[in-house]
Amino acid sequence: MGLTSTAKRGIERVPALARLARRTRNRWSRYGFADAYLRGLHGIEIGGSAHNPFRLNTINVDRDDAMDSVYKREEIAMVGRALPVDVVANGTQLPFEDKSWDFVLASHVIEHFFDPIGALLEWQRVARRFIFLVVPHPDRTFDRGRPPTSLDELQERHRMALAGEGEEELGHRHFSRWTCENFVAMCDAIGLGVVATEDPDRKRGNGFAVVIET
């Protein structure tokens, strides 16, 4: 006996529902890859959000503490609340002394910086042990079909920013795109040592994770 069209649609939906369940479960459960390096340490998170918690010992640093920004409205729409901002600061100019925190954590943030090299070097200055990043992969986001940003362009933007000619990070715009391999190559080029990667990441699944030892 053949299946009805309704039954067929239900069966076809199972893989998609299973993927959604995995993403939801991973978003709210502990992230083992991050825990392996960061649990028990004290750090800062750049642009932390209530709908993407890491459950680590961190303070939240963001460029403003307005609860009606586009990001905070998104948090509230998704989970009914927004993560408070503990320190207001530009991510490329942190108000902390050298090596004053065990780690810097940033998830789905670095692509919003005009000068990601400058941001990484600033986070290296502040972090005693690790920089932990989750970065969206262009093939798994709305950047699908757009090529990775070249190292030459990223280095030129860094030179522009040092000369005071760069732009600030702007809303939802992704200034840069990387594959995991491209990102590791950029880190190598600026002298940052990547000690581990996870591709795809098991936190949200639409990017990759990178651990930099400082």
Q: Residues 104-138: pLDDT tens digits?
A: 999 999 999 999 999 999 999 999 999 999 999 99
Q: Using DSSP, state whether 101 is helix, strand or coil.
A: strand
Q: 95-104: per-residue pLDDT in tens?
A: 999 999 999 9
How many structural domains comprise the chain? Answer: 2
Same domain, residue pair 25 and 35: no
Same domain, residue pair 11 and 114: no
Same domain, residue pair 57 and 7: no
Q: 66-105: per-residue pLDDT in tens?
A: 888 888 888 899 999 999 999 999 999 999 999 999 999 9
Same domain, residue pair 134 and 201: yes
C-alpha to C-alpha distance for 20 and 30, rounded to whole angstroms? 17
Same domain, residue pair 133 and 38: yes
Same domain, residue pair 17 and 93: no
Same domain, residue pair 67 and 90: yes
User: Domain range spanning residue 20?
Assistant: 1-29
Q: What is the pTM of this model?
A: 0.85
CATH of the domain at 94: 3.40.50.150
